[in-house]
Amino acid sequence: MSFIKNTLSWIAPPTAPGVQSGAGGADFLTTKLDVLVQWAHSNSLWPLPFGTACCAIEFMSVVSSHYDLSRFGAEVVRFSPRQADMMIVAGTVTDKQAPILRKIYDQMAEPKWVVSMGVCACTGGFYRAYHVVQGIDEIVPVDVYVAGCPPTPENLMRGIIELQRRIQTGDLARHRQNKTYVPIRVGEQPVIGLPAYSQSVMAPNRPGVSEMPVMADSAEADMGAKADVLKHQGDRS
Amino acid sequence: MSALASAPSSSLTYAPVLDKRFGPKARIEARPAKDIATITLTDRSAYIEVARFLRDDPACAFDLLLDLVSIDLLNAPAPLRPRDGSRFQLHVILYSTRRNDHLRLIVNLPEQNPRVPTLVNLWPAVNWFEREAWDLMGIEFEGHPNLKRLLTHNGFVGHALRKDYAAGQRWLCTEEDLLQTDLAAQTETPEDIFETMTVNLGPSHPATHGTLRIVLRLDGETIVAAEGECGYLHRCFEKMSESHTYSQVIPYTDRLNYCSPMINGFGYARAVEDMLGVEIPPRAKAIRVILSEFNRIMDHMVCIGTNLVDLGALTNFWYAYQAREAIYGLLEACCGARLTSSYARVGGLSADVPPNFDEWSRSLFPIIKTQLDDIDGLVSKNRIAHKRMRGTGIVSRENAIAWGFTGPCGRASGLAYDVRKDKPYEGYDELDFDVPVMTDGDNFARYYVRMEEMRQSLRIIDQQLRKLPKGPVTTDDYRVILPPKEMVYNEMEGLIYHFKVVFEGTKVAPGYFYSSVEGGNGELGYTIVADGSGNPYRLKVRPPCFPLFAAYEKIIKGGMVSDAVATLGMLNIIAGELDR
Ligand code: SF4
């Protein structure tokens, strides 16, 4: 029992659950169901690697023996969306790939989280071009942005640990409900044009523009440019 | 800046025959010494005839088609633009396996209705290259069996590599756009239609290692028809490079074949250096060779490791990655990045290697050797591995040549061509190494050739380390490379050079150039068209796995699905360089 006690005090705020000794000397555990579920969720993330490009090679490094992501409870890499709850988008997503990404996201069961690994997935990276999605938040809601080209394995692991922390505290669920949700960003702050894309019908559970934190000028300018590109998509002749 | 010593046309053995046969219709161009021989067609109608002659005449025997480059000369300056005012140009890059010789055949096409007959009947390898030229440049190939978009999606409008196409113009792709494949068109309907079914392998499938798609028609477990599709990672590298300076393109090249990133960068830098006539110092050359070979080992490790995972042997993957991690450490010490190194510079390297480079490299040998021996011990004599890989995915030597194979896959089919041996560069000719060749042409041969190549790579590294010269790692031609910081801060001239290189980039005289190196998967070629400015006017990569994947649908036909998976892994298709 002391093992559980130690573990619980480590993973959750000390106020929530507790181990108490009953009258007859028997130990029993009091906790809120939510906390227990969140704890379980956070430590058994099943990643679905949506690896498309160079970042996927780095993702392979993260799961193989040297870095060994399984130390953080996210080892069971599954290629079936039905069996996974954390999608790691590693690599550039092109316009041709976009419908597939969305479809696979839709096929995953709730609760699910999306980690955007690398600047290509976050913003399109240095591919500002005719066939590249300028950030996967055009099509799916993103929980963690990990910057880098490719991110170092440490950076990706930090992103996942941050995600676990948020799942444990229940922040993510609460914010999603209240639409006050701000994604996690790891590493150098990538310029991310969030609001423009979150309006898209393809990402219904993203907050609207007004609820988003104000962005820096440069970010807005950048976003404007991207919005122009998007507008062009409409007038296909 | 450029060393324009023209190659004497007398060295072209086929020149007299060509002249007699075609007279004024085809002209042999004077080229810089390091470029490949060139024939320009003055009469477009002789295209097929000349092409057939080049393939069949024993004095020419250009049996391997390497690349097809399409160029839009809309904004090109006078020396590039043909006198008749043609807007488009096609470069057919050929190689003769018998005579070890490259050739470029140029044909000019008008602005209105650019069309030429297809070369599919002469070199089957050209099939996908022509589709790409149609997709991105809008050149029509008469008689092509399957002329449709390849890299972009079906919702795309226009031809992206034309000069009047805005680089940022995107088009929405819907799911319906992806469903259209012409599988029905390429197969005769099987007799009892109810027995077959169509299955999608990819583009997001664990066995495709990236973003490839193969649509299969299955009769039970047997593949009766297959159609490969690519473009799911088309990141517009070639269009992007047109708006960046020659040095700014280097980071993009790392992301072509991301399993062996440095080879791409070195190959590109070498192409530009040769075009400029810049010679890099011996130390830079030696370091390039050493790191290229380490990258080759990494590339083969990924190929073998991931493929064996598909065959059910997971352990090797961890072994292979252990060796990779060790090499990553060295690369990181050299350039600061693990994967995307940007270590090459036009004119040398971005920085010198760390002082303990020699010991560090040598300390990797036992690690790599152990992992190689372990994999060898687990797999090479393993009954299951033999059952899965022997006799599956067979490619004969004739087919390998017809389909444009090079590199380990070509060598596994008995095509003994290695750019390092046959067109030596960066001092490979002074090194003693063997090129493993097998004749079975099956998956096991591809596996074994790669295993042996890694051992040869270690041999090369060992020799090169022993005679690693001292000295600078960049040229002292500051029109090409940034001058050292002390010079920039203390001398006016240094500052000017610095300013010029940063703002304008290295200026390359108008012209075109082809240069190739041995990449992880075969001949990695760069065609550079320069217009005298600091940006490439057009940059075309010959990705070694493009012809491999184009042939894939033909290799797997008639086999089992499980063998198709093994074959795909052993061809080692890297989406980054396949789609660019
Ligand atoms: S972020 Fe960089 S490393 Fe990752 S996919 Fe994009 S280009 Fe490749």
Could you write out the DSSP letters of every residue in B88-127? EEEEEEEEETTTTEEEEEEEEE-SSS-EEE--TTT-TTHH
Residue pair B156/B171 in contact by the 8 Å Cβ criterion: yes
What distance in Å separates the CA atoms of residue B8 and residue B161, rounded to the nearest whole number?
Answer: 34
Which candidate from A50, A96, A149 shows the least CB-CB separation from B173?
Answer: A96
Query: What class does CATH assign to A46-173?
Result: alpha beta
Burial letters A50-70, b for 16+ CB under 10 A, else e: bbbbbbbbbbbbbbbebbebe
Whether A123 and chain B come into contact, CB under 8 Å, resolves to no
Q: Using DSSP, state whether B185 is helix, strand or coil.
A: helix
Any idea what DSSP says for residue A137? Answer: G
Please indicate, yes or no, whether the overall pTM of this predicted structure exceeds 0.95: no
- B303 shares contact with chain A (CB less than 8 Å): no
Which of A206, A203, A158, A215 is closest to A181 using CA atoms? A206
User: Before B203, cis peptide (omega within 30)?
Assistant: yes
Q: Compute the distance between CA of residue B385 and CA of residue B445 in angstroms, rounded to an integer.
A: 12
- Give yes or no for a contact between A130 and B167, defined as CB atoms under 8 angstroms apart: yes
Residue range(s) occupied by CATH 1.10.645.10 in chain B: 237-579
CATH of domain B4-142: 3.30.460.80
- CA of A220 relative to ligand 1 center, distance in Å: 23
User: Could you give the maximum distance between any two Cα atoms of chain A, in Å?
Assistant: 79
Determine the residue of chain B that is closest to A60 in CA distance.
Answer: B321
Distance CA A212, CA A223 (A): 14
Nearest CA to ligand 1 atom 6: A120
Chain A hits for B261, Cβ within 8 Å: 54
State the best of B162, B204, B374, B573 to mutate against chain A, taking most chain A CBs within 10 Å.
Answer: B204
Q: How far does A35 lie from chain B, in Å, by closest CA?
A: 34
Q: Which helix (H) or strand (E) holds B410?
A: helix B407-412
Task: Give residue B327 CA to ligand 1 midpoint distance, Å.
Answer: 20
Cross-chain Cβ contact B167/A129 below 8 Å: yes
Minimum distance, in Å, between the CA of residue A107 and any CA atom of chain B: 13
What would the mean pLDDT of A159-167 be, rounded to a whole number?
Answer: 85
- Please identify among residues 448-467 of chain B the ones whose CB lies closer than 8 Å to any CB of chain A: none
Q: Do residue B173 and residue A95 have CB atoms under 8 angstroms apart?
A: yes
Written as six digits, the tokens of A227 are 């919005």
CATH code for residues B237-579: 1.10.645.10
Chain A residues with CB under 8 Å of B157 CB are: 236-237
Count Cβ atoms below 10 Å from residue B491 Cβ, excluding itself: 12
| Residue A61 near chain B (CB below 8 Å) | yes
3-state helix/strand/coil string of B418-453: CHHHHCCCCCHHHCCCCCCCCCCCCHHHHHHHHHHH
- Sorted by where each begins, the domain ranges of chain A are 46-173
Residue pLDDT tens, chain B, 580 long: 333 334 444 467 777 777 777 777 778 877 777 888 888 888 888 888 888 888 888 888 888 899 999 998 888 888 888 878 788 989 999 998 888 888 888 888 888 888 889 888 888 889 899 999 998 888 988 888 888 888 888 878 888 888 888 887 777 777 766 766 656 444 555 555 556 777 788 777 776 677 888 888 887 788 888 888 888 888 888 888 888 888 889 999 988 888 888 999 999 999 999 888 888 899 999 999 999 999 999 999 888 888 888 888 788 888 888 888 888 889 888 888 888 888 888 888 888 888 888 888 889 899 889 888 888 888 888 888 888 888 888 888 889 999 989 989 999 998 888 888 888 888 888 888 888 998 888 889 999 999 999 999 999 999 989 888 888 888 888 888 888 888 888 888 888 888 888 888 888 888 888 999 998 888 999 999 988 888 899 999 999 989 999 899 889 888 888 888 888 888 888 888 888 8
